[in-house]
Amino acid sequence: MNAPSRRRIRPSSPAAQADLFAAPPRLPEGFRYHAEVLSVEEEETLAGELGALPFKPFDFQGYLANRQVVSFGYRYDYGTRAVVEAAPFPAFLVPLRRKIAAVFGRPEEAFRQVLINEYRPGAGIGWHRDKAQFDEVTAVSLLAPCNLRFRRKAGAASGRQTWERASLTVAPRSAYLLSGPARTIWEHSIPALDRLRYSITLRTLVAKVGVEAPSGAGADL
């Protein structure tokens, strides 16, 4: 019989121990996620409809991003910092709104704004919270997965801001909801994608939002 090997067991580093025993970061309170809310056929049909929409580069006070957007119902105008009316929802979005509202147990008419994001390869979205004029936000994902990241301030250490973070992979054909702290406290972002992804984001408006007449110029949210 061979002598038992005397392999040395190295004490693991504190970092390795942390990795071993750490619970996966908890997702923000108020975040809900549903996989496969669309069939593959529904996804293809929607993507075909989206391909014909008049997307424009997201324009933040003259800075044009890679991400392209189009809004219906209402849009946020960065020039006047107000929500303004936009073209009515196209007919093909109405059944989708009904479905997503049912998935999250919300009345469909509450979702009065839609912003569609087109992320070509290389496009993402930076850290942000949605404008205060909007309340709950849902997003339906098409064609490609993405890494949806969350962060919120967790204090300061050695004079530097520290963050609590969480993230998940959002799959195509899924939908998520941002409500409560996930909507109002946590910021979210998506790093640059390597293939085309669309998100159809539906928003409710806060009760007392002032809606201004359309100004013509101005950027979408």
Ligand X SMILES: O=C(O)CCC(=O)C(=O)O
Q: Site map for ligand X, 40-79, x if CB under 6 A? A: ----------------------------------------
Q: Does 140 bind ligand X (CB under 6 A)?
A: no
Q: Does 117 bind ligand X (CB under 6 A)?
A: yes
Q: Does 188 bind ligand X (CB under 6 A)?
A: yes
C-beta closer to ligand X: residue 16 or 64: 64
Q: Does 130 bind ligand X (CB under 6 A)?
A: yes
Residue 85 carries which DSSP code? Answer: E
Q: Does 115 bind ligand X (CB under 6 A)?
A: yes
Q: Tokens 């994902």 appear where?
A: 141
Amino acid at 60: F
C-beta closer to ligand X: residue 133 or 199: 199
Q: Does 201 bind ligand X (CB under 6 A)?
A: yes
Min dist. Cβ of residue 199 to ligand X (A)? 3
Q: Does 200 bind ligand X (CB under 6 A)?
A: no
Q: Does 133 bind ligand X (CB under 6 A)?
A: no
Is the distance from CB of 78 to CB of 218 less than 8 angstroms? yes
**Residue among 101, 139, 202, 219 that touches ligand X (CB under 6 A):** 139
Q: Does 199 bind ligand X (CB under 6 A)?
A: yes
Among candidate residues 194, 80, 179, 167, the one with its CA nearest the CA of residue 139: 179
Q: Which residues contact 172 (CB under 8 A, 6 or more apart)?
A: 43, 141, 142, 143, 144, 145, 197
Residue 106 carries which DSSP code? Answer: -
**Residue among 46, 101, 125, 182 that touches ligand X (CB under 6 A):** 125
Min dist. Cβ of residue 124 to ligand X (A)? 9
Burial 52-90 (b: 16+ CB within 10 A, else e): eeebebbbeeeeeebbbbbbbbbbbbbeeebbbebeebe
62: left (phi over 0), alpha (psi -120 to 50) or beta: left
Min dist. Cβ of residue 54 to ligand X (A)? 17
Q: Cα(48)–Cα(42) distance, rounded to whole angstroms?
A: 10
Contact residues for ligand X, defined by CB under 6 A: 115, 117, 125, 130, 139, 188, 190, 199, 201
